[in-house]
Chain A
Amino acid sequence: MEKRQLFDSSLLRITISRLCHQLIERHDDFSDTVFLGLQPRGIYLAERIKSRLKELTDIDVPLGYLDTTFHRDDFRRRDSPLRANATKVPFIIEDKRVVVIDDVLYTGRSVRAAFDAMGAFGRSRSIELLVLIKRKYSRELPISADYSGRSINTTPKQKVLVQLKEQGFDEDNIWIINKETN
């Protein structure tokens, strides 16, 4: 299995800082901004963005975890139903500027499902998408990221493997791997 490293701990830290500065440029004092991390792995990135922003600006942006399982359009097209994760959105997004945060933007279907799921928490003023990795040439829906850590050329035979400390790994590593084909 061929494996190429996209991020190590150091590069990840620098990239997160850059993304935070981009957010500061657009959101100023973050008075009406909330973050929504997408389950399962987007929440780790969202926590890091929130924490780094706090260090940089001393502003605590509200953060919720959103699970999109029940809003996906591929239910019953898989071998087994996706296992749901917890949704924790302890605020109403009515008239808020929402930044949706995920680790990888691939087909765009998870993000579409997230837009659908967000409807249960109010009508936001605007929605932006922040991703760590934007996979190119793979979108199935017209969805683009407003902020991205890195854009990479990928084929459907490749997979992005995210291994973060929060998931129990010794250090942060993000790889692109070629899926084995039979």
Chain B
Amino acid sequence: MQEHLTVDHLLGIKELTEGDIQLIFHTADSFKEVINRPIKKVPSLRDITIANVFFENSTRTRLSFELAEKRLSADVINFSSSNSSVKKGETLLDTVNNILAMKVDMVVMRHSSPGAPHFLSRHIDANIVNAGDGTHEHPTQALLDTFSIREKYGEVGGLKVAVVGDILHSRVALSNIFALQKLGAEVMVCGPATLLPRHISELGVRVEYNIRKALQWCDVANVLRIQLERQQIKYFPSLREYSLYYGINKQLLDSLDKEITIMHPGPINRGVELTSDVADSDHSIILEQVQNGVAVRMAVLYLLAGKRGS
């Protein structure tokens, strides 16, 4: 196994090697043990200051990063664009440079524009962790998803994973496809034609429009949230119709002649993508995903901080 990450920033899964992902997983295994101890904190990052810069709303990702940072003993500052200088017209670079002037070492950033963290990484001397850029990538979500699959099945290679739902507006889908493929899984996307990007098959994924066929094919279904807030036009007639054709319920799962694992990056639109009896069933590893998110983010921050030098 390689000694350190090949990258200085975590901008996307596309830039990572399989070795990087395995190193992150190996480190996350150790952090998972740490966060299950009575005292869940280690002093590794006690001399590091991290800014969580969120230009777009997020609750669980920000909380997960904040918890990961605090469990590594880093100093944490939080910035959100609402009620901030961004509203007064300040540029992204100026905003972040002002934060960095406070001697910040790492920046965890969410932004609505694809490529914003890449832009920033070329202009500032801090490690950048992309916490979601528009509909482009959400690398730590993909890492925690694949880590959760590896935890359940032992390894990811050889598994069949269907990514179901709103692929077009999701930043999780692209990162998931890259991560799963790098680890040797077969990937399918399934959803209404209007929510699948036109050239998605060029990424080497299968495309399926029928949910029953997709579930019949896969070992794991990673069900994405319908991103209603990002839809400027109607991509499907109604939530009720979406639920009827693409929602996963207990009846549908029971009718398959196999057991599959259900995942969801949250928050769930209950009754739309998943019914409650599926989301809360033994098939679901949704809460494991949340717990693994902290361990995986600790691993990413630890490994990137280790490359900073003292």
Contacts and interface: CB of A to CB of B under 8 A. Distances in A.
Interface of A: 67, 69-71, 75-81, 83-88, 92, 116-117, 119-122
B306 interface: yes
Interface of B is mostly: loop
A76 B29 contact: no
A117 B38 CA distance: 12
Shortest 7 CB-CB distances between A and B: which pairs? A81-B306, A80-B4, A84-B30, A70-B42, A120-B39, A80-B3, A120-B37
Interface string B269-302: 0000000000000000000000000000000001
Contacts of A122: 38
Interface string B4-39: 100000000000000000010011011101100111
A116 B43 contact: yes
Given A76-B305, A76-B309, A121-B37, A86 B42 contact: no
Contacts of A79: 3-4
Given A70-B43, A71-B42, 16 more contacts: A67-B30, A75-B44, A76-B47, A76-B305, A76-B310, A77-B309, A78-B306, A81-B4, A81-B307, A83-B23, A84-B26, A84-B30, A86-B29, A87-B33, A117-B42, A120-B37
B101 interface: no
B303 interface: yes
Interface bracket on B: 20 to 34
B4 A87 contact: no
Given A80-B3, A83-B1, A116-B43, A69 B30 contact: yes
A117 B39 CA distance: 10
Interface string B143-174: 00000000000000000000000000000000
A76 B38 contact: no
A86 B30 contact: yes
Nearest to A78: B306
A119 B42 contact: no
A80 B3 CA distance: 6
A75 B42 CA distance: 12
Contacts of A85: 30
A83 B26 contact: yes
B33 A86 contact: yes
B308 interface: yes
Interface of B: 1, 3-4, 23, 26-27, 29-31, 33-34, 37-44, 47, 302-303, 305-310
A180 B47 CA distance: 34
A87 B217 CA distance: 38
Contacts of B302: 70, 81
A120 B38 contact: yes
Contacts of A76: 47, 305-306, 308-310
6 contacts: A67-B30, A69-B30, A71-B44, A75-B306, A81-B306, A84-B29
Contacts of B310: 76-77
Contact of B306 (A80, A86, A87, A120): A80
B43 to A, nearest CB: 6
Nearest to A82: B306
Contact of B303 (A77, A81, A121): A81
Nearest to B34: A70
A81 B40 CA distance: 20
Max chain B C-beta neighbours (<10 A), residue from A77, A80, A121: A80
B38 A121 contact: yes
A88 B32 CA distance: 12
Contacts of B303: 81
A75 B27 CA distance: 14
A117 B310 CA distance: 22
Contact of A70 (B30, B39, B47, B308): B30
Given A83-B27, A87-B30, A71 B43 contact: yes
A122 B40 CA distance: 12
Contacts of A84: 26-27, 29-31
Contacts of B1: 83
Counting chain A CB atoms within 10 Å of each CB, which of B31, B39, B43 scores highest? B43
A149 B44 CA distance: 32
A112 to B, nearest CB: 12
Nearest to B28: A84
